[in-house]
Structure 1
Amino acid sequence: MALSDHVSFSDIRNLHGLREAEVKLLMRKSLKAGSYRAWRKRVHDFGSRRANYK
């Protein structure tokens, strides 16, 4: 779910009970380093443009 551009951290928390920091930690452990950095950049960039994004 976290890889999707259409699912917010609040949706993940409601469904799975994971906080934003826990999702980031899980993603860091699951993805390659470059993939994690690209995901964080995408989340950060879109988050500043959309109020309800991650």
Structure 2
Amino acid sequence: MTTPHAVNPPHASLDAATVGEIIQMALSDHVSFAQIRAAHGLHHDEVKALMRTHLAPGSYRAWRKRVRQFGERRENYK
């Protein structure tokens, strides 16, 4: 079974500058997923999909690990 966004993910229509801005925001320890959603309308799962598409596999895994570890230590992270 496929998800509704599997064929055409929401980030597929974004221009390169916007994708770059979202990636910078997601990589920042000072920007939450809520702030990314407010600025660009992407849910955290969509941000993760965008990051998986645009980062090297090792970079994506390192980012997810960092977000997960910070989230466990801080209640209000990402």
Unpaired runs of 5+ in structure 2? 1-24
Indicate yes or no: 2:64 matched with 1:48: no
Larger radius of gyration: 2
Q: How does 1:22-33 map to 2 (within 5 A)?
A: 22-33=46-57
Higher normalized contact order (CA 8 Å, seq sep 6+, divided by chain length):
1
How many residue pairs get aligned? The number is: 54
Q: Normalized against structure 2, the TM-score is what?
A: 0.67
Unpaired runs of 5+ in structure 1? none
Amino acid at match of 1:18: L
